[in-house]
Amino acid sequence: MNSDLILIAMSGGVDSSVATAILAQQGYKLAGITMSVWDGPGGADGKSKSSCCSIDDADDARRVAQKLGVPHYTMNVKSLFREKVIDYFTGEYMTGRTPNPCVLCNQVLKFDYLFEQGRKFGAVKVATGHYARIGTFNGRKLILRGVDRSKDQSYFLFSIPNSRLNNIIFPLGRFSKLETRALAIKHGLNVAQKPESQEVCFIPDNDYNEFIRTQTGGKDIGEGDIVDHNGAIIGHHKGYPFYTIGQRRGLGISAPEPKYVTRIEPEPNRIVVGNKSELYSKALLATSMTWHLPPEEIQKMDITARIRYRSEDSPAMVTPVGDDGATVEFEQPQLAITPGQAVVFYHGEYVLGGGWIEKRLD
């Protein structure tokens, strides 16, 4: 029996449930934490299919914990989630950027909050069901990609400081999703066949536009012009926060060849569109950087960079700029570099750092 207490995040899904089962089987002393973060428009009962960490999910987590003999607690973190995730999410769209709320949710809730609670519980370590690993590179602890590349979640974890990695456990990093479900069946967990959650769990029915309009009360969301790169008006948009760089569908314009959103301009309230070729760029500026190795060391390494979770890595060169920024130059042009998204750097399997995309550099 491992006597040190580990706090494990239990969302009620198959991943965190299997992570709990693995650690319990290994003899760790555990306490399961389910964070109640968001009621959603379905109401405070949390039973809307779109709600995040709903009552149903908390009940699933509790049943899994009970079966495994793990104490279980539900924490109300709705105000923190509102402040750090929802307000950030809507605020970014209102400034013409496209946010990635999953990175902040992981940093602020799944780790900052869990470590804070861990001190109260007397827990030494925190565990989650992420598909990622932790290893050592040149004497430093770093996050590695999950073995299952189709489920790898290391991109979302780039902002976790190295100082915490000695006290984080990712039990699923060496498994595939199929293996995880098989383990859930083996352990007799009621969530074994539970479907995947939405990509952004708090968006009802994946309707971003309605969510933004509801959360902002429609403030400053009005129709405006769609223009080409010369400023000629070729259509009208329904509100600039409802668009993102690279978007093709839903523009409502007719042209000899497909048009894509190439720039969003909140101040004049207009959307700039162009041909697909205009979306490519070989460089970007990132800010609010997190470095897991000294920048001067990273500059000497062969690295790849990823500009969104679903994109492929591409060879790149990173150069620090000022106190908190960096330029990233790619060997090959990248499609739709989008302000507000994260750029994450890798050396093979290792996460070296990352930052938030400020703008493309032409």
CA dist 212 and 199 (Å) reads 16
Q: How confident is the model at residue 44 (pLDDT cuts 50, 70, 90)?
A: very low
Does pTM surpass 0.75? yes
Q: How confident is the model at residue 46 (pLDDT cuts 50, 70, 90)?
A: very low
The pLDDT of residue 144 is: 98
Q: Evaluate if residue 199 carries a pLDDT over 90.
A: no
The pLDDT of residue 198 is: 63
CA dist 24 and 189 (Å) reads 13
The pLDDT of residue 2 is: 65
CA dist 358 and 313 (Å) reads 19
Q: Identify the structural domains of the chain with CATH numbers, from first to last.
A: 2-129+171-205 (3.40.50.620), 222-274 (2.30.30), 279-361 (2.40.30.10)
- 102 belongs to the catalytic site: no
User: Which residue stretches of the chain are H helix?
Assistant: 14-25, 55-68, 78-81, 87-94, 101-104, 114-121, 177-186, 208-216, 295-298
208-247 pLDDT, tens digit each: 999 999 999 887 789 999 999 999 999 999 999 999 999 9
Of 52, 53, 102, 105, the catalytic one is 105
Are 146 and 152 spatial neighbours (Cβ–Cβ below 8 Å)? yes
The pLDDT of residue 54 is: 67
- 105 belongs to the catalytic site: yes
98-132 pLDDT, tens digit each: 999 999 899 888 899 999 999 999 998 999 999 99
Mean per-residue pLDDT for 119-146? 95
The pLDDT of residue 42 is: 44
Give phi and psi for 19, each to the nearest 5. Answer: -60, -40
Q: Evaluate if residue 344 carries a pLDDT over 60.
A: yes
Tokens representing residue 103 in the block: 């990175």
CA distances 41 to 44, 121, 196, 236, 351, Å, are 8, 33, 20, 29, 37
CA dist 240 and 264 (Å) reads 7
Q: Evaluate if residue 49 carries a pLDDT over 50.
A: no
158-185 pLDDT, tens digit each: 999 999 999 999 999 999 999 999 999 9
Neighbours of 236 (CB within 10 A): 14
- Range name among 27-36, 44-53, 138-147 with the lowest pLDDT average: 44-53
Average pLDDT, the chain: 92
276-307 pLDDT, tens digit each: 999 999 999 999 999 999 999 999 999 999 99
